[in-house]
A = this chain, B = another copy of it.
């Protein structure tokens, strides 16, 4: 064959979309603002590709970020490792100077060659580098990959190019070669040595052993065997092997330079794990007078190796994953993005998993129900159950933010329409709708309604039991009674919201625990959760039927349209703040008094959770744009949450609820309110209750 100058083929990389998807996760969850770290990666040249014309690319995918190389890849691939640096902004990405970048980060190759680290672990001879900017809002990724190698290399010529199967090895030697190769560690497989003693004796060994042998020979005379330096060559052109060979030659020039400058170097170029298709290059260096200077210039030179982009130009690539990924999965990632960003700077300890796993029950799918659901999905909550018995009417759609005109035309049930709406927003949500009429005190249950009512109570009970949080968003006071009782009996996070014309109330119910009844302490300014009241703790009569004989303006929620959004926003944020308080529902109630009390020097740290304070009741008005934090203490004779009632419910179940609905004053008797109101100190009690209660 004719003697030719050795040229090299540039390497190329294929980045699977899963690589970027995984990186997006890492960025959001772990790296966050970190733009300094060199992220360790591994990639592979797979043997499992069809024999095609093109050069085999370095493949990166979601596994590239794993700490350990996946075992299947070890068997079927040549493993490389690399570093990635990701900038936080597009501006920073554009400011990166590629030459500076490759010279500084790629320097590891030079260092590893000089230190011998690359001899111990030859995969260090073929490192790759990436710098990137991930626009996670649009799922566009900007990046540029390099395979660093010194720019200056002594000129090499091909002395011979031979197919291994014809000229260098006997057919029965291939098995031994293959076996030896397979026994190499994956870090040794990119570059290794082959010793041929005679036809019988042939051996695969590490690169280090080959060099040792060459250097030993320098000092002695005679040749015991032939040594081949083998490398994995992903490139197809016979006269232009891959850049791996450049780095191998650099290493040889450092560790056995005399040999390289003077002798023929036998290189075994392995294209797959099949030695039969391997090629043997016999290389010879151009004759140099100043060998030391030439050698030094290799390691003093700049590094090169940036890939061309898709347009064949030297420059970064852009990949737009939003076009590739499954829209549903993309949505899932994106939905969590804004939430995870909170952890970057603002609230690093925020327990998002706790929030997104919350199961929320919304009693009422009207104006408040729709608005509450909207804030919940904003928090990434995807388990939502609605309870409502109504049908969407035309007057609902402009105020109840989950419904559309068509729902009213089709007379859909609100719970069905709400479910459809949430699935239109986030197709993977887990939404349920329950159509039921909540039994209410004062709404007598006749014989004809007995079975339906029994079924309704069971469904409601099961729904509350199966959820973590219950929102009371119903349109009458008495409809909140049974849920209040059931939530107290099952000790659920209960959030109550109610609207007036231009005022609202948002409240968390106190903790109820039959086995741990606190001693009432009505003097505490910031009672803890066990001492906080429920919606009915202010009342001195049991709830009754307020729904008959109501005129149209009393039947409809006549309130300023902005009000429901405000109340719903507060209701959900209060609930979230509770979940992020170390004491949860038992946390002390934040009250405006403490904060404004300039005389108080003692700051009560237990008042604040990760997301701030957790008040008991927030009341506000659009008339004067005020809002107040108020507190209602637990009332031991409450007609909804007091212990006698809960006990009776637990004893008698549905029969108790039936009596509550049908028998006038049943609850007042049972909870001791009737007795209490007969006492001579009634006036005192009433005035103290009046003082703490407010009109809605």
Interface residues of A (CB under 8 A from B): 27, 32-33, 88-89, 91-92, 135-138, 322, 327-328, 330-331, 333-335, 337-338, 341-342, 344-346, 371, 374-375, 377-380, 393-399, 401, 403-406, 408-409, 411, 424-427, 501-502, 548-553, 555-558, 560-566, 568-574, 576-577, 590, 592, 595, 611-613, 615, 618, 620-627, 629
Contacts and interface: CB of A to CB of B under 8 A. Distances in A.
Contacts of A403: 425
Given A91-B549, A562-B572, 7 more contacts: A137-B556, A327-B409, A337-B556, A374-B565, A405-B427, A573-B622, A612-B625
Contacts of A629: 625
A546 to B, nearest CB: 12
Max chain B Cβ within 10 angstroms of own Cβ: one of A550, A551, A561 = A561
Given A397-B426, A405-B331, A562 B573 contact: yes
B397 A556 contact: no
Contacts of A409: 327
Contacts of A331: 394, 397, 405, 408
> Can you list the 4 inter-chain pairs with the closest CB atoms, starting with the nearest?
A378-B561, A562-B569, A334-B394, A612-B623
A581 to B, nearest CB: 12
Nearest to A402: B401
Contacts of A625: 570, 574, 590, 612-613, 615, 618, 627, 629
Contact of A569 (B92, B322, B565, B574): B565
Nearest to A577: B622
Contacts of A375: 561-562, 565
B557 A338 contact: yes
Nearest to A607: B624
Contacts of A380: 398
B562 A570 contact: yes
Contacts of A574: 625
A427 B406 CA distance: 10
B338 A551 contact: no
A45 to B, nearest CB: 33
Contacts of A91: 548-549
B623 A611 contact: yes
Given A88-B551, A627-B627, A629-B625, A426 B398 contact: yes
A341 B561 contact: no
Given A337-B556, A426-B397, A560-B573, A590 B89 contact: no
A624 B526 CA distance: 14
Nearest to A342: B558
A379 B611 contact: no
Contacts of A566: 565-566, 569-570
B427 A398 contact: no
B335 A398 contact: yes
A625 to B, nearest CB: 5
Contact of A405 (B426, B550, B626): B426
Contacts of A590: 624-625
Nearest to A406: B424
Given A88-B551, A393-B334, A401 B401 contact: yes
7 contacts: A334-B408, A344-B552, A346-B558, A397-B425, A560-B573, A564-B569, A590-B624
A395 B137 contact: yes
A93 to B, nearest CB: 11
Given A560-B573, A627-B620, A627-B626, A501 B395 contact: no
A333 B409 CA distance: 14
A365 to B, nearest CB: 16
Contacts of A411: 322
A105 B339 CA distance: 67
A393 B573 contact: no
A137 to B, nearest CB: 6
Given A331-B405, A398-B380, A569 B569 contact: yes
A502 B562 contact: no
Contacts of A137: 393, 395, 552, 555-556
Contacts of A592: 626
A33 B611 contact: no
Nearest to A89: B549
A563 to B, nearest CB: 7
A405 B424 CA distance: 6
A282 to B, nearest CB: 54
Nearest to A329: B394
B424 A398 contact: no
Nearest to A411: B322
B624 A595 contact: yes
A371 B378 CA distance: 13
Contacts of A426: 397-398, 405
A359 to B, nearest CB: 17
Contacts of A92: 549
Given A426-B405, A552-B136, A561-B375, A335 B394 contact: yes
Contacts of A561: 375, 378-379, 569, 572-573
Contacts of A576: 560, 562
Nearest to A327: B409
A569 B506 CA distance: 16
Contacts of A333: 394
A416 B551 CA distance: 40
Nearest to A88: B551
A398 B429 CA distance: 11
Given A393-B137, A626-B627, A401 B374 contact: yes
A488 to B, nearest CB: 24
A191 B549 CA distance: 43
Contacts of A399: 338, 378
Nearest to A382: B398
Nearest to A629: B625
Contacts of A560: 573, 576, 611
